[in-house]
Structure 1
Amino acid sequence: MSGQFFIQLLNPGIGLLFAVAFFLLWLNRRDRYVAYAAGAYTASAIAFLILDVGPALPYELHRIPANIGFLATGALFAAAIIRRYGLPVPWRAMAVTSAVSMAFFLWFLLGSLSIGGRILSISIGAGIIAAMVVRALWPIKKRYVIDRVLFWVAALSALNLIARPIVLMSLGGGFDSYDGFQQSVYWTTVQFTQAMVSITAAISLMVAVAIDQISELRRQVDDDKLSGLLNRRGFEAKAGSALRRYLDDDRPVALMIADLDRFKQINDSYGHAVGDAIIAAFGAHVRAIGPAEMIAGRIGGEEFALLISSAGIETARQFAEAVRIGLAPAAADRIPSTLVPTTSIGLTIGTPGANLSALMHEADQALYEAKRTGRNRVRTFTPISVRQAAGGG
């Protein structure tokens, strides 16, 4: 076997290797975007096998399924990246682009014969599909380095697919036959760059899958399933770092602790299922009305903590009242009609140099005052010196 034959096996070998790898990942993590990636590399391997290894058909008809496979590779990989971010996949736009690309390809294959025209038809079509990824990811906040890597892989792929054939064909003057085409600098460049892009794209997406897996495990560790909020560990970790950031930026911040009133009596009288329903309703209610940057957690059996930024005392009190007043309606369809759950809330405002532990202690004192004065109310922490001054002491 010649060295050229082994070179021809490079891209289908890479495609099959990564197709198997992504399929195994999908078996472990049933995310649709991982399945799309497996499909993309399967299509790539089949397309290269048809084109470079399989038997030639009359009128070069074997090039039709091969190039359909190349376009399917681009579309499925674009879908994998876009779907990872929970965005709608532009299937219709990709299908139209692929259909137009194949129409031009067929014209240059069966009508006005032109190898250069066929190259441009498929490369530009695939480049436009890659550009759809760039357009979809452009406005998204890129939290991790891998998010930027995926964006630039798509951008460079689009540029490579669109610009490369135009530049090389203008320098080389086109191709008169497929023998000349396969011996050309262009085809050598395609074989090399496609292998590099395939490896880079696959490794980047695998890293993204690993990061998603770690994030999911972290959420499982930090989240409270019943309330849909953070658990105490998750709240303290996120709220602590957020509080330091807010105070360093001189942004007002408020912390409140809410406690469901007479919760033990509710469990004893109505059963733990009703108590769980109230906890779930509280979590859903807080998520529904809370600001985007709110950090909320269930820090005890029936106790919750909420950290909100850009909130002065009046804004914080209004939010706390909305939480208190809205609990009963939020839980109404989950519990017996004879039961009206209430909550008491203690509120404090962050001051320069404060830490989370100190604020939680202050909010706890305010919560104790709310309980002591009758429950189902909001109380704001007042330092002893201020209380003494107000009392004339």
Structure 2
Amino acid sequence: MSGANFILLINVSVAGLLAASFMAVALHEAGRASPRWLAFGYLLGMVYFAIEFSIPAFDNARPVVVVAFAVFLGATIAFNGGLAHKYGVAPPWTPMLFFLVATSVAVYFVQDLPRQSLVRMMAYQLPYAVMQFIGLAIVWSSKQRHARLDRILMAVLAASGVQFASKPFIAHALGGWGANPQAYLQSSYALVSQSLGTVFGLALALLMLAILVRDLLAEVTSKSETDTLSRLLNRGGFTRRAELAVLGAVRQGVPVALVIADLDHFKSVNDSFGHASGDRVIETFAGFLREAAAGHHVSGRIGGEEFAIILPGTNLAAARLFAEGTRSAFSALPIDGLPADNRCTASFGVAELHPSEAFADLMRRADQALYQAKNAGRDCVRVSAGPDGNWSSAGIEAEARRV
């Protein structure tokens, strides 16, 4: 058995295992099309390698060669479909399928050219390169590409496209791809070609598996950290994200403030109007926080009717204005399910991180400020004294007027 035959057998097994791996992901994520298309692509790849292995058994290999070409090009189209679904891009099915038909016809007729003709070799390999660059364009055009793995995937797709485009020249340099289709697997080019196919096919599959698993873990983490009713982070999720936000602000040398809010007389809302109305109050207030928060803010529901938002890049005065604006807008808002003249209010505590403080210290001071707001009659904002106790209301008011 030649080296190319051996690698071809390995490719059949590897493609089958990869197809099974993507199918396992697809079964776990039944609502997502991406892993199903990727599984189908590698299943077609397995069929292609099996056809390649069987070509020497045919006296007239011309139709078999065309079928093998179409199957492998179909595998790259299915892979691009998986990419498109993963990255939220509309799959270009019509142009890709038209390209499949047109190039398959071209491959049928170019077999009338001399076997070692560069044009004939390019007609067979360039369509594969085009599909790899279409895959690159799909990832590049997506708004969801933002991580290192996505950039590595684009680099590998580009390299794979280049290796397909260069194969005719590699074949020419190595003395061709055999005197006939039956002799292909005995050629030096076949060994190189199959080896390159193994490397790039496996690299792309492993990258896609890593990306799918990454996104799956991120979704599981997000669900475990999200409060179902408010759709904000729960206490554990908020604490983890807020600590990271505080560390980032400290590294950048920018201020960071924390606002804690508590819905006033919330128990009486539940007792008087029912828990459904209480839930709507929570949903409404959470919606206020989501709309008011910037992309780098971190907001969460940290208790039954208690909420918090961390504001990186925000000093104490600006955080107090944020709290006052939220308090005022929420108190004027009618709530579905409550009488028209009934208004819900919230109390707020605000604190700014001071040097040498930890996030837990910031939480403690903001909570103390919230306690003061409730003691002051509720529906108001109070700010925390600094760790040294030197903050004064007059000083805070003056700073707020300068913002």
**Which moved further from structure 2: 164-173 or 260-269?**
164-173
**1:17 paired to 2:17:** yes
**1:316 paired to 2:323:** no
**1:46 paired to 2:51:** no
Q: How many Å separate the matches in 1 of 2:76 and 2:329?
A: 49
Task: Specify whether residues 155 and 326 from structure 1 end up closer, same or farther in structure 2 by C-alpha distance, changes over 3 A only.
Answer: farther
1:386 aligned residue (391, 396, 401):
391
- Show CA shifts across 1:34-88 (max 9, x none): 1121111111112222333266485712233322221221122233344334444
Q: Is the 8 A contact 1:150 1:201 kept in 2?
A: yes
Q: How many Å separate the matches in 2 of 1:213 and 1:358?
A: 34
Unpaired stretches in structure 2, ≥5 consecutive residues: 396-403
**1:200 paired to 2:203:** yes
SS at match of 1:21: helix
Which residue identity lines up with residue 136 of structure 2 in the other structure? V
Which residue identity lines up with residue 202 of structure 2 in the other structure? I
Unpaired stretches in structure 1, ≥5 consecutive residues: none
Tell me the residue number matched to 2:164: 161
Tell me the residue number matched to 1:254: 257
**Which moved further from structure 2: 207-216 or 91-100?**
91-100
Task: Specify whether residues 171 and 217 from structure 1 end up closer, same or farther in structure 2 by C-alpha distance, changes over 3 A only.
Answer: same
Tell me the residue number matched to 1:32: 33
Tell me the residue number matched to 2:64: 62
Q: Is the 8 A contact 2:41 2:75 kept in 1?
A: yes
**1:189 paired to 2:192:** yes
Task: Specify whether residues 336 and 41 from structure 1 end up closer, same or farther in structure 2 by C-alpha distance, changes over 3 A only.
Answer: same
Q: How many Å separate the matches in 1 of 2:333 and 2:52?
A: 62
- Show CA shifts across 1:172-223 (max 9, x none): 3676532454433222222122122233332333333333333233223322
Task: Specify whether residues 256 and 355 from structure 1 end up closer, same or farther in structure 2 by C-alpha distance, changes over 3 A only.
Answer: same
Between the two proteins, the alignment pairs up a number of residues equal to: 387
TM, length-normalised to structure 2 = 0.83
Q: Is the 8 A contact 1:128 1:158 kept in 2?
A: yes
Q: Is the 8 A contact 2:113 2:120 kept in 1?
A: no
**Which moved further from structure 2: 121-130 or 66-75?**
121-130
**Which moved further from structure 2: 230-239 or 172-181?**
172-181
Tell me the residue number matched to 1:75: 77
Task: Specify whether residues 229 and 159 from structure 1 end up closer, same or farther in structure 2 by C-alpha distance, changes over 3 A only.
Answer: same
SS at match of 1:300: coil
RMSD of aligned Cα (Å): 3.2
**Which moved further from structure 2: 4-13 or 297-306?**
4-13
Task: Specify whether residues 25 and 372 from structure 1 end up closer, same or farther in structure 2 by C-alpha distance, changes over 3 A only.
Answer: same
Which residue identity lines up with residue 268 of structure 1 in the other structure? D
SS at match of 2:229: coil
Which residue identity lines up with residue 260 of structure 1 in the other structure? L
- Show CA shifts across 1:266-302 (max 9, x none): 1111111221222223323322331111111111111
Aligned-residue offset at 1:14? 2.0
Task: Specify whether residues 321 and 101 from structure 1 end up closer, same or farther in structure 2 by C-alpha distance, changes over 3 A only.
Answer: farther
Tell me the residue number matched to 1:124: 126
Which residue identity lines up with residue 26 of structure 2 in the other structure? W
Aligned-residue offset at 1:247? 1.5
2:154 aligned residue (133, 148, 151):
151
